[in-house]
A and B are shown apart, each in its own frame.
Chain A
């Protein structure tokens, strides 16, 4: 059982922690507001966001098309030696994905219900599916929409929805599965990565459950999935010690009834929301809660976010920000816009988290794996770009291709196409604040590090200002912010 956080421990630090883990962080004002609500109300508001949070307007191009016709046309043109159709289709795929990434990242920054997006991202990493194989923007958007609708709903229903989700089906070869040749890809990953984890099933279970998932089909003309009874192996199967004429949903129900399933999902939730190596007692508690609530997410999350364990000193500001968190939170703290879509996409690639393209079916490993010498330097330089815009580039290089950091090789001069101005310093450091360098450092580090930096670091930041002769013009303040955001501490949330 999780223990409830005592009222006395609900302070601004706790409120900041809740906002950064259950959302994408907050400005000092947002933190104060959440703190003023009290713990119960704050958690309630995050978990019980209204229906509008789930009805996010899709990008305008996101609707089904007759893919069969589209692809056939392209193929026929290609046979005539005309590759333009193929290129056209590919360009459309690329453009739509770029726009889809802009759409989601933008919504993560703007939404009044950040927990919904944070969980949608969690499920995207859990039911990892990549556009690299699916190759269709509508299907990727639709999976995102399904993940969002179930994000705080029921895990078992979500898993069943994923078994019928066109993007997932394509990603794990489900439509190719035939009774005479059941494809084991989906069945294996369902057990290994989505429900019970490795070691809790046998190769025999993989083969038998693969039979249960035959008959799941896709109609390319409508882009919808459907069930084809004649392609389904309805015969008896032996699965995890039970015998029956199981279909796919039966298999998922049996998996959810295994104690290993609650344990597996509980651990993953703890890793995402609490700590890289969560304590066994915490995982057991969350697993017990999942079982007690039949995998309904809301009550489980409400308990977790209200618990003593969630606010432990060892937990607060000890998690490495994911690239998504880094990007959305940094823009929030700087009170600036997200970068232009192509720049954001490239930056996410450099940092190792491209939305709609996880590296493999296991999703993103997270934690320390986000950080290498390469990604860490990139984060520092990316913060520089977000703060200073194009001015971060030496003038001689500003319009040249392939140069520092933020442009994609030969496609060049993105900075010219998508100019970015430096942030408006007055928004976060008004003139009256700048008059007092010490106060300026204190307040900015309050904003950047949520609960303030260590005294030694504060001294270092102050001496940076001193070295600039106490000059606190825009350029210096931006330099100070960049310095703060380049510290190891800023990688933590």
Chain B
């Protein structure tokens, strides 16, 4: 994981421009290359080999997970007072100590805790909490202060600062839309949900075979030529983005097309070669984590994977729906961990959960809970320093009916960046945050 200096200028001359000259590449690409080349600056680059690096998996629980029914302060009478209907009975709680316990559906997470592979950070939030899903999600994704707007995401800034020159698959999000956390000056990372479909298909000729020449021309049109083989780890994604000539919509489209083409071959090859025999639950999250495990097992040179589970906005009729979500989460994570263990990759992976906010302490009139503030985060991995970090927030010392946070989420990010990804957190987060000994 030693940062190596790579001369991007040299790379550009040798591969991209060389290719452009060798082919009658459309002028737009040449222009892009020249302009970007002029702006290019040498920078710290983390080399990625795919086989030995630490990997971060970020799991978003979208909609605002009810922290108080995930990690339950069962010994606190105020919990039961605030939640006469939604409060969980002792037989639905897996006790960690004499004060808190996991939701009864989180049996796999409890086992990971007992084995020493799970860290729980309590009361995570940020100052001046915002109760809008969108704004609060944006705050978590961009890691800014609540009153600041940023267009780049925190992982995007990590890619920009520490992974420039890397393969586009350095960041992989499972789904159809790139998470805002990935937004970077240089568009980095790929998004897909099904490897078999993640591929450009040529038209079929009358003989039932792909139309000869079409694929080659498609590659030419998007700027991929034989001189820039897909496996060399260098793509347009290596170029800086927001230059003065930079991210026009057209440039953005070209980079995405090129990234898609370069990475799709690699991803498809891994998907074909590497199958898992681990049974995963038949849920969207199960499918996402199984795919991530296949990519890890196949050695895709990825530092950050991103997946999400939605449905946590439990304003009404929460009991059944939240228990179902806990089951979905638990079962998918349990299979994922077992799969990684079987691969021998559990020590290389750290999985972190987050949600845009927790929910109000008191239940509402519709057997649900409204938007709140601080909530717990889980970190799971073979090398995680286990335990419970931070104090459980008080249920009586509230801010407008909501929990007061104890740990800033950016402290957790900083810990992951510094101790796991070995990246300078201040550069990525714009500020120094205290780190926790979680890895």
Chains A and B belong together in one complex: yes
Chain A residues close to B by CB (< 8 Å): 173, 176, 178, 180-181, 183-185, 188, 192, 198, 203, 276, 318-320, 350-352, 360, 362, 368-369, 371-378, 380-381, 384, 387-388, 391-395, 403-405, 454, 456-457, 459-460, 463-464, 467-468, 475-476, 478-479, 482-483, 486-489, 491-492
C-alpha gap A319/B218 in the complex (Å): 22
15 contacts between A and B (CB under 8 A): A176-B316, A180-B365, A183-B366, A185-B315, A368-B249, A372-B176, A372-B177, A375-B191, A376-B260, A380-B201, A459-B24, A460-B221, A463-B24, A483-B221, A492-B250
Considering the complex, give the chain B residue whose CB is closest to the CB of A318.
B249
Contact B222–A488 (Cβ < 8 Å): yes
Contact B203–A377 (Cβ < 8 Å): no
Given A454-B28, A456-B26, A460-B220, A381:B200 Cβ within 8 A: yes
Chain B residues lying within 8 Å of A463, measured Cβ to Cβ, are 24, 217
Given A380-B200, A394-B204, A405-B201, A372:B178 Cβ within 8 A: yes
Contact B27–A372 (Cβ < 8 Å): no
Chain B residues lying within 8 Å of A391, measured Cβ to Cβ, are 203-204
Stretch binding the partner chain, chosen from B71-79, B207-215, B296-304:
B207-215
Given A373-B191, A464-B213, A360:B133 Cβ within 8 A: yes
Contact B176–A375 (Cβ < 8 Å): yes
Given A181-B365, A468-B213, A492-B249, A388:B199 Cβ within 8 A: no
C-alpha gap A442/B335 in the complex (Å): 55
| Residue picked from B212, B259, B260, most chain A C-beta under 10 Å | B260
Chain B residues lying within 8 Å of A387, measured Cβ to Cβ, are 203
Interface residue? B256 (CB, 8 A): yes
C-alpha gap A482/B213 in the complex (Å): 13
Given A181-B364, A185-B315, A483-B221, A372:B201 Cβ within 8 A: no
Whole-angstrom distance from the CB of B262 to the nearest CB of chain A?
Answer: 9
Q: Which of B173, B250, B370 has a CB less than 8 Å from the CB of A489?
A: B250
Contact B252–A371 (Cβ < 8 Å): yes
C-alpha gap A178/B366 in the complex (Å): 11
C-alpha gap A352/B134 in the complex (Å): 18
Contact B198–A405 (Cβ < 8 Å): no
* Complex interface bits, B211-253 against A, C-beta within 8 A gives 1, otherwise 0: 1111001101110000000000000000000000000111011
Interface residue? B433 (CB, 8 A): no
Considering the complex, give the chain A residue whose CB is closest to the CB of B205.
A475
Whole-angstrom distance from the CB of B362 to the nearest CB of chain A?
Answer: 12
Chain A residues lying within 8 Å of B107, measured Cβ to Cβ, are none
Chain A residues lying within 8 Å of B370, measured Cβ to Cβ, are 184
Whole-angstrom distance from the CB of A277 to the nearest CB of chain B?
Answer: 10
Whole-angstrom distance from the CB of A98 to the nearest CB of chain B?
Answer: 20
Contact A371–B256 (Cβ < 8 Å): yes
Chain B residues lying within 8 Å of A492, measured Cβ to Cβ, are 249-250, 253
Chain A residues lying within 8 Å of B218, measured Cβ to Cβ, are 483, 486
Chain A residues lying within 8 Å of B365, measured Cβ to Cβ, are 176, 178, 180-181
Contact B249–A350 (Cβ < 8 Å): no
Chain A residues lying within 8 Å of B341, measured Cβ to Cβ, are none
C-alpha gap A388/B211 in the complex (Å): 12
Interface residue? B385 (CB, 8 A): no
Contact A376–B257 (Cβ < 8 Å): yes
Q: Which of B133, B198, B204 has a CB less than 8 Å from the CB of A374?
A: B198
Contact A352–B177 (Cβ < 8 Å): yes
Contact A320–B249 (Cβ < 8 Å): yes
Chain A residues lying within 8 Å of B260, measured Cβ to Cβ, are 373-374, 376-377
Interface residue? B383 (CB, 8 A): no
Contact A464–B259 (Cβ < 8 Å): no
Whole-angstrom distance from the CB of A194 to the nearest CB of chain B?
Answer: 13
Given A376-B257, A454-B26, A483-B214, A173:B364 Cβ within 8 A: no
| Residue picked from B211, B248, B254, most chain A C-beta under 10 Å | B211
Considering the complex, give the chain B residue whose CB is closest to the CB of A378.
B197
Considering the complex, give the chain A residue whose CB is closest to the CB of B169.
A373
Interface residue? B263 (CB, 8 A): yes
Contact A377–B198 (Cβ < 8 Å): yes
Contact B256–A198 (Cβ < 8 Å): no
User: Besides the contacts A377-B264, A388-B204, A460-B24, what 11 more A-B pairs have beta carbons closer than 8 Å?
Assistant: A203-B400, A371-B252, A373-B190, A373-B192, A374-B198, A374-B260, A404-B197, A456-B27, A460-B217, A475-B205, A486-B200
Given A372-B256, A392-B201, A198:B132 Cβ within 8 A: yes
Interface residue? B52 (CB, 8 A): no
C-alpha gap A381/B218 in the complex (Å): 12
Chain B residues lying within 8 Å of A404, measured Cβ to Cβ, are 196-197, 201
